[in-house]
Amino acid sequence: MSRALELAATPGVPLGPNPRVGCVLLADDGSVVAEGFHGGAGTPHAEADALARAGAAARGTTAVVTLEPCNHTGRTGPCAQALLAAGVRRVVLAQSDPNPVAAGGAATLAAAGVDVATGLLADEARALNRVWTFAVEHGRPFVTWKFATTLDGRSAAADGTSRWVSSRAARLDTHRLRALSDTMLVGTATVAVDDPALTVRDEEDQPLARQPLRAVMGLRDLAADRRIFDAALAGGAETVHLRTRDPHVALAELFVRDRQHVFLEGGPTLAAAFLAAGLVDEIVVYVAPALLGAGLPAVADLGITTITQAFRPTVTDITVLPGLDGEQPNVRLTLTPAPRTET
């Protein structure tokens, strides 16, 4: 199963919208007959890939697969039926499929007399497809809120300038994280004032080939010359204006578009709206060794009036990003929101 997880994580495999899946076919003596993995939407599923490589040798094998074989016909046929047709006698799977449309493969196999075992390295399999699993189970995209701040919690100076609060190393790390998402989301105020391109760029500040969807939410009309609407800057990547102030509505619209991971980079008002709605699933903050004393806060009013109501996320990682080009190091904190405790 560890090898199947390695196959699922093959470099270059898209992070969505389909899950990453690996499959290993074993003979009775434990030797590997064939391996396969899913290369992205429209390509053969991991089981089909392994079966094609094995040919007639697949009969009588054990299929070790990281996700429950699908039980429906989409762009490809059901993997449960493919395994039955190939004569696989045993299936060992890690994660049960949380998608009700595709689930049921294990039951179909068992009903046909195949020996089925579930749950082997299930946690590792879920971690591999963390965002996809979350989106399927919750019916909305996973939301990562990213912001940069000074030591005193300012994201911009009193005159509105914010370039640059964080270091170059922090900005490069931000682009790495942007590339892991399928949607970047800001509010109309950010577009109107800062005019961001919202692209993923490399160390030479050049756009990468794959660009996430650029999304802006809010009711304000925006000028057509804003860079977020310039497709050439993002290699033709789509831009969408979600005309709502409600985070629930915005995420619902993005989910309909098959989006699973939103990278929230809006200003303090948008951040506060998502936090108040309980729709932030991960926080990434870059802290710069600087003090402003005044200016734009990282997050707007959350309605908290006493210390016992404080929003206290759980720290899951602390990383010091070394300074580049003579800059001071920045600290990256990764946190998971926790429920507020009120008295």
Structure confidence by residue, pLDDT tens digits, 136-149:
999 999 999 999 99
Residues of the chain with CATH 3.40.430.10: 139-336
> Please, what sign has the CA dihedral across residues 53, 59, 64, 69?
positive
| Phi, psi of 307, rounded to the nearest 5 degrees | -60, -30
Active site residue 47: yes
Q: What is the pLDDT of residues 27-43, one digit of tens each?
A: 999 999 999 999 998 89
- Per the CB < 8 A criterion, the answer to whether 24 and 2 are in contact is no
**Which residues are documented as binding site?**
45, 70, 79, 148, 162, 164, 178, 190, 194, 198, 201, 265, 267-273
Looking at domain 139-336, its CATH class is alpha beta
- Per the CB < 8 A criterion, the answer to whether 177 and 284 are in contact is yes
The CATH label, of 3.30.930.10, 3.30.450.20, 3.40.50.970, 3.40.140.10, for the domain at 2-132 is: 3.40.140.10
- Per the CB < 8 A criterion, the answer to whether 191 and 228 are in contact is yes
**Which residues are documented as binding site for substrate?**
162, 178, 198, 201, 265
The rounded distance, in Å, linking the Cα atoms of 263 and 69 is 30
Catalytic residue among 47, 68, 124, 238: 47
Residues of the chain with CATH 3.40.140.10: 2-132
Q: What is the pLDDT of residues 60-118, one digit of tens each?
A: 999 999 999 999 887 778 999 999 999 999 999 999 999 988 899 999 999 999 999 99
